[in-house]
Amino acid sequence: MIGKLKGLVDSYGEDFVILDVNGVGYVVHCSARTLQRLPPPGEATDLAIETHVREDMIRLYGFRSDAEREWFRLLQTVQGVGTRVALGVLSVLEPGALASAIATGDKGAIARAPGVGPRLAARLVAELKDKAPAFAPIDPALIALTGAVEDRTAPQPVADAISALVNLGYPQVQASAAIAAALRSAGEGAEAKVLIRLGLKELAR
């Protein structure tokens, strides 16, 4: 199996790059984000490779980092996600942002990927949320708070504060992060108005 390729960029296609390695041109399929970050033809680069072997073909998938390749593998453990959809998700979200979106339940961010509707985005969050924190430095308090809000078990002042920020136009995830930070400084028993004030300060930074 091929795990890494290092060579010169020969040319680009719609969703692939041809990498010249000692005179052999390898067709490597990549996410749009990865293709955008590769150098122009004639320059050197290296890619982490995932090799898929089937009876009728061998296909190579290339990634700028091992983390991106690991997410490519992980996404395909979810029913309904194949290589095309996995690359689509990685085209709109880099590994750290994807881990954050899954850990905090930001289904809207994931649904922006081509081929991912609201139902599949919800399934990705549900099935991968326990694995996402291992791939990004996410505040455990934010994950716990987001889960409590979704399950409707968050204290009323916390739920009210997040709701107030959402009503002001902030995305749910951003509002939750701001209130998680506010809780750290104000304490668990803080009133909603205190949390809102501190949350707005956090968002203004």
CATH number of the domain where residue 104 is located: 1.10.150.20
φ, ψ at 168 (rounded to 5°): -80, -5
pLDDT reported for residue 143 = 47
* Residues 9 and 39 occupy one common structural domain: yes
| Contact present, 30 and 16 (Cβ < 8 Å) | yes
**DSSP annotation string for 43-111:** SEEEEEEEEEEETTEEEEEEESSHHHHHHHHHHTTSTT--HHHHHHHHHHS-HHHHHHHHHTT-HHHHT
In tens digits, what is the pLDDT along the chain, a chain of 205 residues?
788 999 999 999 999 999 999 999 999 999 999 999 999 999 999 999 999 988 888 999 999 988 899 999 999 999 989 999 999 999 998 887 888 788 777 888 899 898 898 999 999 988 887 776 555 555 555 545 555 445 455 678 778 888 888 888 877 667 777 777 787 777 777 888 888 888 888 777 6
What CATH number did the domain enclosing 52 receive? Answer: 2.40.50.140
* Residues 144 and 123 occupy one common structural domain: no
* Residues 80 and 110 occupy one common structural domain: yes
pLDDT reported for residue 152 = 54
* Residues 71 and 124 occupy one common structural domain: yes
Q: How many domains does the chain have?
A: 3
DSSP state of 113: S
Residue 62: closest CA among 45, 80, 77, 76: 45
pLDDT reported for residue 151 = 43
Q: Which residue, 63, 91, 108, sits at the end of a domain?
A: 63
User: Maximum Cα–Cα distance for the chain, whole Å?
Assistant: 68
For 202, the token pair is 């956090």
* Residues 151 and 117 occupy one common structural domain: no
* Residues 129 and 104 occupy one common structural domain: yes
Q: Could you tell me the residue range of the domain that residue 71 belongs to?
A: 66-135
* Residues 119 and 148 occupy one common structural domain: no
With a CB cutoff of 8 Å and minimum separation 6, the contacts of 144 are none
User: Any idea what the Cα angle at residue 118 is, between residues 116 and 124, rounded to 5°?
Assistant: 65
* Residues 72 and 96 occupy one common structural domain: yes
